[in-house]
Amino acid sequence: MKGRIAGISGTTVRIEGLRGARMYDRVCVGEARLPGEIVRLDGDDVVSQVYEDTTGLGLGEPVFYEGEPLSLRLGPGLLGSIFDGLQRPLSELHKTLGPFLSGEKTTEALRVDKEWVFHSDVKRGDNVKEFDVIGFIDEGHIKHYLSVPEGVNGRVGEIKEGNIALKEPVAFLEDGREIKAFHDWPVRRPRPYVNKLKSSEPLITGQRILDFLFPVSKGGCAILPGGFGTGKTVLEQTIAKYAEADVIVYVGCGERGNEMAEMLEDFCCLSDPRTGRLLLERTILIVNTSNMPVAAREASIYSAITIAEYYRDMGYNVLLLADSISRWAEALREISSSLEEMPGEEGYPTYLGSRLYSFYERAGLVRGFSGKTGSLTVIASVSPPGGDFTEPVTQACLRTAGAFWMLDTDLAHRRYFPAINWTHSFSLYVKDIAEYFRKRVSDEWYSLQGKLMEMLQKEKELKEISEIVGKEALQDSDRFLMEVAEIARTYFLCQNAYTEDAFCPPERACEMLKAIIDFHERGIESIRAGKKFEEIFTKDSISKLRGAIRR
Amino acid sequence: MRLSEHRYRTIETVFGPLLFLEKVKQVRMGERVRILLPDGTERAGQVIEIEKGRVLIEVFGETGGIDRDNTTVVFTDEIAKMPLSPEIMGRVFNGSGKLIDGLPSFTPARRAPINGIPMNPDARERPSDFIETGLSSIDGLNTLVKGQKLPIFSCSGLPSKEIIAHIIRHARTLKEPSGFAVIFAAMGITFHEYSFYMDVLEDIRAERCVIFINRADEPALERLLTPRLALTAAEYLCFELGMDVLVLLTDMTNYCDALREVSTARGELPGRRGYPGYMYSDLASIYERAGKIKGLNGSVTMIPVVTMPEDDITHPIPDLTGYITEGQIVLSRELWRLGVFPPVDVLPSLSRLMNNGIGRDRTREDHRDLANQLYSFYAQGRDVRKLEAIVGIEGLSEKDRRFLKFAEDFEREFVHQGDKGRTVIETLDVGWRLLRRFPKSEFDRIKKETIERYY
Task: Please answer yes or no on whether A260 and B120 come within 8 Å at the CB atom.
Answer: no
| A281 and A312 assigned to the same domain | yes
Q: What is the pLDDT along chain B (455 residues), one digit of tens a residue?
A: 677 788 999 999 998 889 999 999 999 999 999 999 999 999 999 999 999 889 999 998 888 899 999 999 999 988 889 999 999 999 999 998 999 999 999 999 999 999 989 999 999 999 989 999 999 999 999 999 999 999 999 999 999 999 999 999 999 888 755 689 999 999 999 999 999 999 999 877 777 899 999 999 998 899 999 999 999 999 999 999 999 999 999 999 999 999 999 899 888 888 888 999 889 999 999 999 999 999 998 999 999 999 999 999 999 999 999 999 999 999 999 999 999 999 999 999 999 999 889 998 889 999 999 998 999 899 989 988 988 888 788 878 888 899 999 999 999 999 999 999 999 999 999 999 999 998 888 888 888 888 889 88
- Option in B26, B115, B355 nearest A55 (CB): B115
- Option in A55, A327, A385 nearest B319 (CB): A385
| A365 and A299 assigned to the same domain | yes
| A123 and A41 assigned to the same domain | no
CA A224 to each of CA A405, B31, B320: distance values in angstroms, whole numbers, following the listed order? 5, 43, 18
Task: Determine the distance from the C-alpha atom of residue A166 to the mean position of all C-alpha atoms in its chain, rounded to a whole number.
Answer: 28
| B167 and B315 assigned to the same domain | yes
Per the domain annotation, does B360 fall within a domain?
no
Classify each residue of A235-263 as buried b or exposed e, where b means 16 or more C-beta atoms within 10 Å of its C-beta. bbbbbbbbbbbbbbbbbbbbbbbbbbbbb
Task: Please answer yes or no on whether B348 and A413 come within 8 Å at the CB atom.
Answer: yes
| B148 and B204 assigned to the same domain | yes
- Phi and psi at A265, nearest 5°, equal -65, -45
State the Cα–Cα distance between residues A170 and A186, nearest whole angstrom: 22
Q: What is the pLDDT of residues A505-548, one digit of tens each?
A: 999 999 999 999 999 999 999 999 998 888 888 888 888 888 88
The three-state secondary structure class of A200 is: coil
Per the domain annotation, does B389 fall within a domain?
yes
Per the domain annotation, does A201 fall within a domain?
yes
What's the pLDDT score for residue A367? 96
| B350 and B339 assigned to the same domain | yes
CB atoms within 10 A of CB B175: 9
| B282 and B302 assigned to the same domain | yes
The CATH number assigned to the domain holding A201 equals 3.40.50.300
The three-state secondary structure class of B35 is: strand
Mutation site for B-interface testing, chosen from A9, A59, A546 by largest number of B Cβ within 10 Å: A59
Per the domain annotation, does B17 fall within a domain?
yes
- Give the total number of structural domains in chain A: 4
- Option in B50, B124, B315 nearest A257 (CB): B124
| A381 and A277 assigned to the same domain | yes
CA B35 to each of CA A396, B11, B38, B39, B97: distance values in angstroms, whole numbers, following the listed order? 48, 11, 10, 11, 18
Nearest residue of B to residue A297, measured between CA atoms: B281
Query: Cα-Cα-Cα-Cα dihedral of B75, B80, B85, B86, to 10°?
Result: 160
Helix, strand and coil content of chain B, in percent to the nearest 5, comes to 40, 25, 35
Give the pairing type, strands B209-215 and B152-154. unpaired
| A158 and A247 assigned to the same domain | no
Boundary residue ending a domain (A70, A102, A126): A70
Per the domain annotation, does B403 fall within a domain?
yes
Boundary residue ending a domain (A131, A157, A184): A184
**Residues 6+ positions from A64 with CB-CB distance below 8 Å:** A1, A2, A27, A28, A33
Alpha helices in A112-243 (DSSP H): 208, 232-242
Neighboring chain A residues of B323 at a CB cutoff of 8 Å: 228, 383
- Residue A31 contacts B where some CB pair is shorter than 8 Å: no
Check whether the bond before B177 is cis (ω within 30° of 0). no
- Residue B3 contacts A where some CB pair is shorter than 8 Å: no
Q: What is the pLDDT of residues A139-170, one digit of tens each?
A: 988 999 999 999 999 999 999 999 999 989 99
Per the structure, the complete domain to which residue A19 belongs is given by 2-70
Helix, strand and coil content of chain A, in percent to the nearest 5, comes to 35, 25, 35
What's the pLDDT score for residue B1? 64
Boundary residue ending a domain (B355, B386, B420): B355
Q: What is the pLDDT of residues A65-109, one digit of tens each?
A: 999 999 999 999 999 999 999 999 999 999 999 999 887 767 788
Q: What is the pLDDT of residues A20-67, one digit of tens each?
A: 999 999 999 999 899 999 999 999 999 999 988 888 899 999 999 999
The CATH number assigned to the domain holding B15 equals 2.40.10.170
| A422 and A340 assigned to the same domain | yes
| A151 and A203 assigned to the same domain | no
Classify each residue of B28-62 as buried b or exposed e, where b means 16 or more C-beta atoms within 10 Å of its C-beta. bbbbbbebbbeeeeebbbbbbbbeeebbbbbbbee
Nearest residue of B to residue A14, measured between CA atoms: B51
Region A290-294: what's the mean pLDDT? 89
| A342 and A455 assigned to the same domain | no
CB atoms within 10 A of CB A157: 14
State the Cα–Cα distance between residues B406 and B433, nearest whole angstrom: 11
- Residue A386 contacts B where some CB pair is shorter than 8 Å: yes
CA A158 to each of CA A460, B92, B353: distance values in angstroms, whole numbers, following the listed order? 69, 73, 56
| B17 and B141 assigned to the same domain | no
Boundary residue ending a domain (A440, A469, A485): A440
| B195 and B208 assigned to the same domain | yes
Rounded to 5 degrees, what angle do the CA atoms B381, B383, B388 make?
90
Per the domain annotation, does A486 fall within a domain?
yes
Per the domain annotation, does A420 fall within a domain?
yes
Task: Please answer yes or no on whether B26 and A56 come within 8 Å at the CB atom.
Answer: no
Looking at mean pLDDT, say which of A261-265, A314-318, A490-494 comes out highest: A314-318
Query: Cα-Cα-Cα-Cα dihedral of B117, B118, B123, B128, to 10°?
Result: 110
8 Å CB contact between A49 and A12: yes
Residues of A (483-522) whose Cβ lies below 8 Å from B: 498
Task: Please answer yes or no on whether A9 and B25 come within 8 Å at the CB atom.
Answer: no
What's the pLDDT score for residue B252? 96
Asked if pLDDT for residue A220 goes beyond 90, the answer is yes
Q: How many CB pairs under 8 A join A and B?
A: 184
| A117 and A8 assigned to the same domain | no
Closest-CA distance, B282 to chain A, in angstroms, reads: 8
Nearest residue of A to residue B28, measured between CA atoms: A58
Neighboring chain A residues of B124 at a CB cutoff of 8 Å: 257-258, 260-261
Task: Please answer yes or no on whether B125 and A261 come within 8 Å at the CB atom.
Answer: yes
| A154 and A20 assigned to the same domain | no
- Residue B127 contacts A where some CB pair is shorter than 8 Å: yes
What's the pLDDT score for residue A500? 83
Alpha helices in B181-277 (DSSP H): 191-208, 220-235, 252-265
Angle (deg, nearest 10), helices B316-324 and B279-287: 50
Neighboring chain B residues of A14 at a CB cutoff of 8 Å: 51-52
Task: Determine the distance from the C-alpha atom of residue A269 to the mean position of all C-alpha atoms in its chain, rounded to a whole number.
Answer: 21
- Phi and psi at B410, nearest 5°, equal -60, -45
What's the pLDDT score for residue B295? 92
Q: Which of B223, B316, B238 is nearest to B277 (CA)?
A: B316
8 Å CB contact between A471 and B387: no
| B203 and B102 assigned to the same domain | yes
Task: Please answer yes or no on whether A57 and B28 come within 8 Å at the CB atom.
Answer: yes
Torsion sign (Cα): B364, B369, B375, B378: negative
Boundary residue ending a domain (B355, B379, B403): B355
- Residue A434 contacts B where some CB pair is shorter than 8 Å: no
CB atoms within 10 A of CB B67: 11
Residues of B (347-386) whose Cβ lies below 8 Å from A: 347-348, 350, 353, 355-356, 375, 379
Q: What is the DSSP code (8-state) at residue B60?
A: S
**Residues 6+ positions from B329 with CB-CB distance below 8 Å:** B137, B138, B142, B150, B151, B152, B153, B344, B349
Check whether the bond before B101 is cis (ω within 30° of 0). no
| B384 and B321 assigned to the same domain | no
- Option in B53, B113, B288 nearest A290 (CB): B288
Closest-CA distance, A462 to chain B, in angstroms, reads: 16
| B45 and B87 assigned to the same domain | no
- Phi and psi at A55, nearest 5°, equal -55, 130
| A353 and A500 assigned to the same domain | no
Looking at mean pLDDT, say which of A316-320, A487-491, B175-179, B264-268 comes out highest: A316-320
| B44 and B91 assigned to the same domain | no
- Residue B29 contacts A where some CB pair is shorter than 8 Å: yes
DSSP for A12-58?
A: EEEEES-TTPPTTEEEEETTTTEEEEEEEEETTEEEEEESS--TT-B
State the Cα–Cα distance between residues B116 and A292, nearest whole angstrom: 11
Per the domain annotation, does B361 fall within a domain?
no
Nearest residue of B to residue A90, measured between CA atoms: B122
Per the domain annotation, does A93 fall within a domain?
no
Give bridge partners of residue B303 from the DSSP assignment.
Answer: B248
State the Cα–Cα distance between residues B105 and B111, nearest whole angstrom: 14
CA B334 to each of CA B215, B300, B338, B375, B389: distance values in angstroms, whole numbers, following the listed order? 30, 33, 6, 19, 15
- Residue A256 contacts B where some CB pair is shorter than 8 Å: yes
> 3-state SS of A76-107?
CCCCCCEECCCCCEHHHHHHHHCCECCCCCCC
What's the pLDDT score for residue B177? 59
The CATH number assigned to the domain holding A467 equals 1.10.1140.10
Task: Please answer yes or no on whether A330 and B395 come within 8 Å at the CB atom.
Answer: no
| B181 and B260 assigned to the same domain | yes
State the Cα–Cα distance between residues A383 and A325, nearest whole angstrom: 8
Rounded to 5 degrees, what angle do the CA atoms A64, A69, A72 make?
110
State the Cα–Cα distance between residues A308 and A218, nearest whole angstrom: 13
Task: Please answer yes or no on whether A415 and B271 come within 8 Å at the CB atom.
Answer: no
What's the pLDDT score for residue B35? 95
Neighboring chain B residues of A330 at a CB cutoff of 8 Å: 277-278, 280-281
Per the domain annotation, does B421 fall within a domain?
yes
- Residue A383 contacts B where some CB pair is shorter than 8 Å: yes
Boundary residue ending a domain (B355, B384, B407): B355
The three-state secondary structure class of B270 is: strand
Task: Please answer yes or no on whether A258 and B148 come within 8 Å at the CB atom.
Answer: yes
Give bridge partners of residue B73 from the DSSP assignment.
Answer: B8, B35
- Option in A6, A258, A292 nearest B127 (CB): A258
Per the structure, the complete domain to which residue B222 belongs is given by 82-355
- Option in A56, A260, A415 nearest B121 (CB): A260
For A109-255, strand residue ranges (E) read 115-120, 127-128, 133-139, 142-147, 154-159, 162-165, 171-173, 178-179, 183-186, 195-197, 221-225, 247-255
Neighboring chain B residues of A327 at a CB cutoff of 8 Å: 280
CA B145 to each of CA A238, B128, B352, B363: distance values in angstroms, whole numbers, following the listed order? 23, 6, 10, 11
Burial group, residue A31, by CB count within 10 angstroms (0-12, 13-18, 19+): exposed
Task: Determine the distance from the C-alpha atom of residue A65 to the mean position of all C-alpha atoms in its chain, rounded to a whole number.
Answer: 33
Task: Please answer yes or no on whether B324 and A287 come within 8 Å at the CB atom.
Answer: no
Per the domain annotation, does A76 fall within a domain?
no
8 Å CB contact between A291 and B289: yes
| A242 and A313 assigned to the same domain | yes
Total count of residues recorded for chain A = 551
- Phi and psi at B240, nearest 5°, equal -100, -35
For B308-417, strand residue ranges (E) read 327-331, 344-351
State the Cα–Cα distance between residues B451 and B455, nearest whole angstrom: 5
Neighboring chain B residues of A6 at a CB cutoff of 8 Å: 51-52
- Give the total number of structural domains in chain B: 3
Per the domain annotation, does B191 fall within a domain?
yes
Residues of B (386-445) whose Cβ lies below 8 Å from A: 387, 390-391, 395
Region A345-364: what's the mean pLDDT? 93
Task: Please answer yes or no on whether A261 and B326 come within 8 Å at the CB atom.
Answer: no
pLDDT bin (cut points 50, 70, 90) of residue A387 is confident
Asked if pLDDT for residue A325 goes beyond 90, the answer is yes
DSSP for B61-117?
A: S--TT--SSS-EEEEEEEE-EEEE-GGGTT-EEETTS-B-SSSPP---SEEEETT--
- Phi and psi at A63, nearest 5°, equal -130, 130
Per the domain annotation, does B362 fall within a domain?
no
- Option in B51, B118, B315 nearest A100 (CB): B118
| B64 and B137 assigned to the same domain | no
Maximum Cα interatomic distance, chain A, rounded to a whole number of Å? 91
Neighboring chain A residues of B117 at a CB cutoff of 8 Å: 100-102
pTM over 0.90: yes
Q: What is the DSSP code (8-state) at residue A109?
A: S
- Residue A60 contacts B where some CB pair is shorter than 8 Å: yes
Neighboring chain B residues of A259 at a CB cutoff of 8 Å: 326
The CATH number assigned to the domain holding B256 equals 3.40.50.12240
Mutation site for A-interface testing, chosen from B21, B28, B29 by largest number of A Cβ within 10 Å: B29
CA A124 to each of CA A88, A133, A154: distance values in angstroms, whole numbers, following the listed order? 36, 14, 11
Task: Please answer yes or no on whether A101 and B119 come within 8 Å at the CB atom.
Answer: yes
Task: Please answer yes or no on whether B322 and A53 come within 8 Å at the CB atom.
Answer: no
Mutation site for B-interface testing, chosen from A31, A81, A258 by largest number of B Cβ within 10 Å: A258
Residues of A (169-208) whose Cβ lies below 8 Å from B: none
Neighboring chain A residues of B288 at a CB cutoff of 8 Å: 256-257, 289-291
What's the pLDDT score for residue A538? 86
